[in-house]
Structure 1
Amino acid sequence: MKHYIIQIAFILMAISTYSQYQIKGKITSENNLPLQNVALHLLENNASTETNENGEFEFKEAPKGNITIVTYLFGYEQQNITLNTTAQNELNIILVEKEQHLDEVIVSTNFNKVQSQNVMKVEHRNVEELRKNGATSLIEGLATIPGVNQISTGTSIGKPVIRGLSSNRVLTYTQGVRLENQQFGDEHGLGLSASGIESVEIIKGPAALLYGSDALGGVLYLNPEKYAQADKTAGSFTQQFSSNTQGTNTSLGYKFSPNNWKFLIRANYNSQADYKIPDGDRIINTRSIEKDIKTGIGYSSSTFSTDIRYNYNNLNLGLPEEEITNLGFRTPLYPNQKIDNHIVSWNQKIFFKNSKIDADFGYQQNNRQELEAPEEIALHMKLQTLNYNVKYYLPQTKGIKTIVGTQGMHQVNTNFGEELLIPDATTVDFGAFITSQLEWKNNALQAGFRFDNRAITTSEHGILNEEGYFSAIDKNFNSINFALGYKTVVLKNVTTRLNLASGFRAPNLSELTSNGVHEGSNRYEIGNQNLENEKNIQIDLNVEYQTEHFELYANGFYNKVDNYIYLSPTGMQIEDNFVFEYQQNNAALYGGEFGIHIHPHPFDWLHFTSSFETVTGKQENDNYLPLIPANQWKNNIKTEFNIKNWLDKGYALLQVNHTFAQDNTSTFETSTPDYTLVNIGIGGTIKWNKRQFNVNLNANNLLDKNYIAHLSRLKADNIPNMGRNILLGINFNF
């Protein structure tokens, strides 16, 4: 498999030839005044630049053929300019003054449209904005998005939940490749640092057409930090302090882009002590230490661009249990997890006159250990994964854009520890798809279908009829899926999106083969080799009303899942552990998100947002599904201001978030009462002695509310979530 990917890589490089296509231009206002610091983004090769004091800009190496350039300047209307570089190389752009929100480019969908043109509704968040809002970790920031929650174990482990679906039902992409880190376990977090991640996109609903198996519930797509602009250097230093965990998070990065080359490197160190609950006690062994390095090297010309990224993440985190003696301060006690994660990715784009090839290749090594005592490795799994994703964008025909592609994965899991959660195994994925989009006037129609095959083979281990025995399996899972979407502007300022899509998920190794005590959940789990594919079909309706000072949206969905896999108690016990078996039943999830954003005139400095989200999950027999988040009502008031010559882009915010009681629980869950959390924040850019830096000060859970989130894995032990937490963040750009 490795040789196969290397051969493809050399073939793609070999067919690339060099030629120059420069795009120059000038941007002015309606009064013919030059506009400085207008940001321009070239979608096809992800290049960016800014206008100078004369309003002039230049892309030295634009791709050959059709390209799209997007302009961004606060207080001016965003423009999307399409041209063919073989016929035009100069632009004169006039921007119209208009107060509006930036329309971000969405890269998690195949056609890379800005959100207003996208057939599928995709949530986009900038990681820096999440920090300003008081997020202490990446997953905590994502959980503020309507329809997104997290399954947490203290402050160090968090798994995304999208509309009630999680674990292997939600696929995570980073650096353009799917993240593989034994995500079947609730106590296995993302294993990714927010440092070096620029923005996040979330697809809420089945995305099998784009990503294959495991995208049944949605996709979490992480966009890496951009390179510096051409012929420029940039650096940044970020420091965050956390009062509750006495934590420190330090990030240092540097990047430069000489000629057509691009380089960057970023290092991050994050250390958190045990978190404190409102009564003043600390939850022993919820501490963690994380080290992260991200590097990249890229090259672009008019006919091709290449981008190679590497990420190393080392995470040592404690696992809270009863009767742990508190020693030390930050170093995790036993039991703990030690995780090394390596991700190497390579993106290659080749531009033809009216078409292009976009290919991603990746290699990952996830080395996971669980230690019960010094030098006593109870669990040690090494997961090695090769990925490929190759897409060909066909020449446009009569307004129809079409993409054909193939994706695949070759994965090997090997055990070295005394205990086994899953057996040694090999997983091979292959998928092929085609999708097309047609746009006319204010309408867009997108459709496609896909075929997938997953082959799983495992080795026999242990003694028959005893705990820890795994029989050998050799299974194939096939699926054909489709997606159909339509977007239209039905009335002035009213946009409607209707999507119908199917998805699937092949059973994971834990569900197929488990036979023993899962220490992370304190139960004896028995797998089921007769499990079939989970298959779902979801209908999603999105309606948005947007003017310059008011927005209203409503997202409704109904998700029918056949062969839903779940753990069910048998009523038996083995060595004082309750026995659970994996079973299947048809199920349905339904609900939605509703919200408003008021930006009143003439009070342009004031923003008020409010959202309500709800999801219900039921089996065909009317039993509720487990791990369904409670309904939430989130409110945010934000003001923007400047103070003379020393504070720029200042802001102050107040968040009041109410979580309703969750009484719709599965047979082995307990109900959770309602609670309300209050958060505040203030920040901006401080100018001092011709220098400037960004600062933010936040207080989360300001009233020190004692509460337990329904999806907290510490709920069974009646352990509350974190109490009041004061955050101070400082960022220097140089």
Structure 2
Amino acid sequence: MLSAQNSVSGTVTDNQNQPLTGVSVYAPELHKGTTTDENGKYELKNLPNGNLRLSFSYVGYSNQNKTIVKLIKENTLDITLVESILEMDEVVVSTPFNKLQSQNVMKIDHESIKTLQQKGTSTLIEGLATIPGVSQISTGTSIGKPVIRGLSGNRVLVYSQGVRIENQQFGDEHGLGLNDAGIESVEVIKGPASLLYGSDALGGVLYFNPEKFADAGSFKANFSQKYFTNTQGSNSSIGLKTSTDNWKFLARGSFNTHSDYKIADGDRVTNSRYNETDFKTGIGYSNSSFSSVLRYNYNKLDIGIPEEGIAGQSSSKDTQFPRQGIFNHLFSLNNVIFFENSKLDVDLGYISNDRSEFEDSNDAALRMKLNTFNYNAKYHFPKFGKIEAILGIQGMHQTNKNSGEEYLIPNATTNDFGVFGTANYEWNNSVLQAGLRFDNRNVTSEAHGILGEEGSFEALDRSFDSFNASLGYKTKLAEPLTLRLNVATGFRAPNLAELTSNGVHEGTNRYEIGNSNLKTEQNIQTDLNLEYKNSHFEFFVNGFYNHVNNYIYTSPTGDVLDNNDVFAYVQDNAKLFGGEAGLHFHPHPLDWLHFETSFETVTGKKDNDDYLPLIPANNWNNTLRTEFNIKNWFKEGYASLNVSSTFDQKNVSGFESASKGYTLVNLGFGGTVKLGKTAFDVNLNGNNLLDKKYIAHLSRLKTDGIPNIGRNIVLGVNFNL
């Protein structure tokens, strides 16, 4: 490791050679950035030896990602940005080589949280469900579980602050436990990502990038407030951040509170109310040898469980019984150590998830404490010609402890260890990427209770091994036309609930019996992506075929225990197939007009051709959007009309019922208001504007005939103080 006091400077201009002011210049590995001055000039100091990657971004222009090979003491890098009316090309963090989206072998969806918030959704998962191929299993407006191409629960891995989220996600009524305040963007990997992430990434990954630190030498503070008419809900957030050349600090506090949501006829769904407190903070240090960032996220949830349907009408925000209380602590330490021509990434994480369920008093009937330590180290070898290579290890140590009267799962310890290697070879307009991985998971649990009685468990000691591989190819068939082809395997070890369950699971109204002999789920998926892009027209089509061996699901046994039907965990081979297609049209010379449309479909079947449960219905989404400025006082204005049509879902499993289709109309309006030296962002959204009464197929309140949320007007303001 060598010490250095290197710097890079330059000028950013447009293609008319005019300087651009306010361009963001960012070094992702150092969490360090600056902006260009009125002459388009920038400078970053105190940089490491070796290679440095810089990202240049500016609204209305294509992003550029540049790597300076082998920094010297003083480096000059001048950049010309080209105007682009369509989406910006973002750096993808969730894949190993951190390329721009357009350079990546895998098709990754990247959305800024600001864009999702402009759609007026009240929760993070609601916003994610607007991305093609992503849906949610919801319990009212408070609990949402992500679904990627028909796979959900433990088959979708969620990452935040570079750390995998572990929060008892096996449970039907266990939501994400993440707040969108303090999150910059999300990346969605659709398909097996076990090569990079190990067990539970069989169906895909949601990778949340935390908000960036302030530019070096600056101080920023902001306050945002939203109001939701339907739930009389409020969402408040305040944040501040500051940076020197080496040190950086940020903190953000948020509070969310909602009363019972109203359905289309004006009735409220009893006890669907919830309250959320969220706090995020981070401190970082970088010098010429390494970069280190420590982040902490505290999330407290108080969630009512709607069991009465539409009963007592109230706009109170105090939850009734039954309710959930969840305390989540997430610590992450992200480090990059720079050598002369290589680097080492080391990410450490600790999550404490304390989940209680209160049935009829403030004594927890069920209380589970899940403590998880995980680590992830990746060594980036020096570049060899056109080949980049990474070798990595990952692991997790997890304990589950019960302290309530009831036990859903036993006290248990889980240990994971994985080792992987991947390489990227680039030539002309083509890229080839391949990787191999081996994993072991060991699960041990304690015996509990009297065998044969509800809530009793036998001791368990199981070990699961898996080898996985991936191969991806990307090429430009013509200048605007890109082809991607990926084949990857993934795996998922059975979770504790599937192995050990013995009792009535709240909210499912059924007695579930686990199977200690379950095998590992193993899948292979083929993905094809075709993408066409020019300055006024974008088109994409994705197709996938996913075969899953030993797919785990519950099946009725025909028995009845404690007045509940008995369901047992069984396995069968399964297949899922479908895809997404969409286009974005920006007609010339109408620079202010955008039309976007997308269609998504997925079919899931067992090998005997019976349909899988919880498969989302087909959806067709259309958005007409205009962009405008009004003199000098209203900048970056937009207005949008969205029509989202969800089709009938008749392809259902044996214990599901079919669902009718519906069409929702949504309006959006917003921009930046400038009054003298004061500037603030404002957005106004009308969701389900026609007050359509509908029940989503993946709503867990569907069995009780309870509709989803009716009309909701959302007003939001954001002040940069």
State the TM-score, normalizing by the size of structure 2: 0.98
- Residue pair 1:62, 1:85 contacting (<8 A) in 2 also: no
1:94 Cα deviation from its structure 2 partner: 2.8
Contact 1:360/1:388 (<8 A) preserved? yes
Q: Distance in 2 between matches of 1:525 and 1:692?
A: 56
Q: Which position in structure 1 is the counterpart of 2:242?
A: 256
**Alpha-carbon separation, structure 2, partners of 1:585 and 1:29:** 58
Q: Please give the per-residue CA displacement for 1:40-97, whole angstroms capped at 9, x wherever unaligned.
A: 2224324222100111101113332112222222343433322124346112223344
Alignment of 1:84-233 (within 5 A): 84-87=69-72, 89-233=75-219
Which residue of structure 1 lines up, in the alignment, with residue 35 of structure 2?
50
Q: Distance in 2 between matches of 1:594 and 1:259?
A: 45
Which digits, 9 at most, give the CA deviation of each residue in 1:678-703, with x for residues without a partner?
A: 00011100111321100000000000
Distance in structure 2 (CA, Å) of the matches to 1:518 and 1:496? 46
Tell me which amino acid in the other structure corresponds to 2:106: M
Q: Tell me, yes or no, if the aligned pair for 1:347 and 1:358 is still in contact at 8 Å.
A: yes
Q: Aligned to 2:557, which of 543, 550, 570?
A: 570
Question: Are the structure 2 counterparts of residues 328 and 708 from structure 1 closer, same or farther at C-alpha, using a change threshold of 3 Å?
Answer: closer
Pick one of 33, 41, 57 that aligns with 2:18: 33
Cα distance in 1 for residues equivalent to 2:710 and 2:85: 38
Give, as a single letter, the amino acid of the residue that structure 2 aligns with 1:271: T
Contact 1:43-1:112 within 8 A present in 2 as well: no
What residue ranges of structure 2 are gaps of 5+ in the alignment?
Answer: none
Query: Which of these residues, 52, 63, 77, is aligned with residue 78 of structure 1?
Result: 63
Amino acid at match of 2:637: G
Give the secondary structure class of the aligned counterpart of 1:475: strand
Greater mean alpha carbon deviation, residues 703-712 or residues 53-62:
53-62
Structure 2: distance between partners of 1:342 and 1:561: 34
After superposition, residues 129-528 of structure 1 pair within 5 angstroms as 129-322=115-308, 329-528=316-515
The corresponding residue for 1:551 is 538
- Partner Cα distance (1:461, 1:338) in 2: 24
**Could you tell me whether the CA contact under 8 Å between 1:41 and 1:48 is conserved in 2?**
yes
1:325 CA displacement: 5.2
Letter matched to residue 50 of structure 2: G
Match of 2:656 in 1: 669
Shift of 1:519: 1.4
Greater displacement, 396-405 / 45-54: 45-54
2:570 to 579, 583, 587: 583
CA distance in 2, matches of 1:328, 1:699: 21
Name the SS of the counterpart of 1:376 in structure 2: coil
Q: Distance in 2 between matches of 1:303 and 1:717?
A: 59
Alignment match, 1:535: 522
Deviation at 1:28, TM superposition (A): 2.4
Deviation digits for residues 292-342 of structure 1, max 9, x if unmatched?
000000001121000000000000000011286566700110000000000
2:43 alignment partner AA = E
Equivalents in 2 of 1:507, 1:706: separation in Å?
A: 38
The residue that corresponds to 1:638 in the other structure is 625
Quote how far apart the aligned CAs of 1:718 are: 0.2
> Residues of 1 paired with 2:454 and 2:257: CA distance?
38
Tell me the SS of whatever aligns to 2:67.
strand
| Aligned equivalents of 1:475, 1:100: Cα separation in 2 | 51
352-361 or 53-62: which moved more? 53-62
Q: Which piece of structure 1 moves more, 61-70 or 640-649?
A: 61-70
Q: 1:715 aligns with which of 694, 697, 702?
A: 702
Could you tell me which amino acid in structure 1 is paired with residue 252 of structure 2?
Answer: R
Tell me the amino acid that sits aligned with residue 82 of structure 1: T
d(CA) in 1 for partners of 2:534, 2:81: 18
* Cross-structure match for 1:3: none
- Supply the distance in 1 between the matched residues of 2:660 and 2:697 (Cα, whole angstroms): 9
Change (3 A) 1:569 1:25: same
Aligned residues of 2:489 and 2:523 also touching (Cα < 8 A): yes
Tell me which amino acid in the other structure corresponds to 2:358.
L
What secondary structure sits across from 1:373 in the alignment?
A: coil
1:235–1:733 contact (8 Å) kept in structure 2: yes
For the residue of structure 2 that corresponds to 1:44, the secondary structure is helix
CA distance, structure 1, for counterparts of residue 364 and residue 548 of structure 2: 39
Once the two structures are superposed, residues 79-136 of structure 1 have per-residue CA deviations (whole angstroms, 9 ceiling, x without a partner) of 3322124346112223344444210010000100010000000000000111111111
Counterpart position of 2:606: 619
Structure 1 residue ranges (4+ consecutive) displaced by more than 6 angstroms after TM superposition: none
Shift of 1:18: 4.2
1:576 is displaced (CA, Å) by 1.2
Distance 1:325 1:706 in 2: 20
8 A Cα contact 2:239 2:253, kept in partner:
yes
Question: Structure 2: which amino acid aligns with 1:209?
Answer: L
Alpha-carbon distance between aligned partners in 1 of 2:3 and 2:419, rounded to the nearest angstrom: 30
Please give the root-mean-square deviation of Cα atoms over the aligned residues, in Å: 1.2
Conserved? CA contact 2:648–2:660, under 8 Å: yes
8 Å Cα contact 1:707-1:720 kept in structure 2: yes
Structure 2 distance, partners of 1:35, 1:247, is 41
**1-structure distance, mates of 2:62, 2:328:** 42
Moved more, 80-89 or 377-386: 80-89
1:195-246 deviation line (CA, Å, top 9, x unaligned): 1111000000000000000000000000001100001011110100000000
User: Secondary structure, in 3 states, of the residue corresponding to 1:454?
Assistant: strand
Q: Does residue 65 of structure 1 match 2:50?
A: yes
Range with greater deviation from structure 2 (409-418 or 373-382):
373-382
Q: How many residue pairs get matched?
A: 719
Kindly indicate whether the alpha-carbon contact (under 8 Å) linking 2:8 and 2:77 is maintained by their aligned counterparts in 1: yes
